[in-house]
């Protein structure tokens, strides 16, 4: 069983990896949005693919595909990113608050 400190570190690590994944998704969506007017035959679409990391959290990789659906590759990630990032930031805030409470109890 993990100690309290190790569990807190794991929670922060998982939330941070989620934020890094969101940043890659935003970068890919920005690339795709910037190139939407380019002829499809010359444009490559970036996709950020997330998978579970061995140590918890998210492992994100960006892949290049032929020009694809702009709605799912450009617009939707830009629309959902703020809510996703707010949720992950809330995890970090809650963990920080819990750390403070535990430090107060043990002091």
Q: Which residues contact 59 (CB under 8 A, 6 or more apart)?
A: 17, 50, 51, 52, 53
pTM listed for this prediction: 0.67
Contact 49, 61 (CB under 8 A): yes
Between 26 and 70, the higher pLDDT residue: 26
pLDDT digits (tens, 9 = 90+) for 13-52: 888 888 888 888 888 888 888 877 777 666 677 888 888 8
Instruction: Report whether 45 contacts 73 (CB < 8 A).
Output: yes
């Amino acid at each position: 069983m993990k100690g309290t400190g190790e569990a807190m570190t794991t929670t922060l690590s998982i939330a941070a990896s989620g934020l890094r994944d969101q940043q890659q998704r935003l970068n890919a969506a920005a690339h795709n949005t910037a190139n939407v007017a380019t002829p499809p035959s010359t444009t490559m679409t970036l996709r950020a693919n997330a998978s579970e990391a061995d140590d918890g959290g998210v492992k994100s990789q960006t892949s290049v595909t032929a020009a694809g659906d702009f709605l799912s590759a450009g617009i939707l990630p830009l629309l959902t990113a703020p809510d996703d990032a707010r949720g992950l930031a809330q995890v970090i805030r809650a963990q920080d608050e819990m750390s403070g409470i535990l430090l107060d109890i043990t002091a």
